[in-house]
Amino acid sequence: MSLSQPDSSPTDLSRGRSSAPGSDRESVSHRSPELALPSANVDNLKRRAALLARTRRFFEERRYFEVETPVLSRDVCVDVYLDPIAVEGASGERHFLQTSPEFAMKRLLAAGAGSIYQITRAFRDREFGPLHNPEFTIVEWYRVDADANLLMEEISDLAQALLGTAPAERWSYREAFRRTLDLDPFTAGNAQLAEVAQSAGFHDREAERDDLLDFLLATRVQPELAKHDAILLHGYPPSQAALAEVATEGDVTTALRFELFVRGIELCNGYQELRDANELTRRQNEQNEKRIGQKKASLPTDSRLLRAMEIGLPRCSGCALGFDRLAMLALGATSIQEVVAFPADRA
**Cβ(136)–Cβ(114) below 8 Å:** no
Closest distance to other proteins from the beta carbon of 5 (Å): 10
**Cβ(38)–Cβ(45) below 8 Å:** yes
Q: Which is nearer to other proteins, 64 or 202 (CB)?
A: 202
Cα first-last separation, the chain: 14
3-state class of 243 per DSSP? coil
Tell me how far apart the alpha carbons of residues 131 and 5 are, in angstroms, rounded to a whole number. 10
Q: Which is nearer to other proteins, 293 or 312 (CB)?
A: 293
Closest distance to other proteins from the beta carbon of 24 (Å): 7
Q: Which is nearer to other proteins, 113 or 211 (CB)?
A: 211
Closest distance to other proteins from the beta carbon of 94 (Å): 23
| Cβ count near 119 (within 10 Å) | 18
Q: Which is nearer to other proteins, 64 or 258 (CB)?
A: 258
Degrees, nearest 5: CA angle 176-264-146: 70
Tell me how far apart the alpha carbons of residues 233 and 71 are, in angstroms, rounded to a whole number. 29
Closest distance to other proteins from the beta carbon of 132 (Å): 6
Q: Which is nearer to other proteins, 80 or 108 (CB)?
A: 80
Closest distance to other proteins from the beta carbon of 212 (Å): 10
- CA atoms in the 13 A half-sphere facing the CB of 146: 22
Q: What is the per-residue burial (b if ≥16 Cβ within 10 Å, else e) of 219-239?
A: ebbbebbeebbbbbbbbbbbe
Q: Which residues of the shown chain bind other proteins in the complex (CB under 8 A)? A: 1-2, 4, 7, 11-24, 26, 79-82, 126-132, 200-204, 207, 210-211, 214-215, 217-219, 240, 242, 259, 266, 269
- 167's CB contacts (< 8 A; 6+ apart) are 156, 160, 230
Q: Which is nearer to other proteins, 10 or 112 (CB)?
A: 10
Closest distance to other proteins from the beta carbon of 61 (Å): 27
Q: Which is nearer to other proteins, 183 or 319 (CB)?
A: 319
| Residue-level length of the chain | 347
Closest distance to other proteins from the beta carbon of 65 (Å): 26
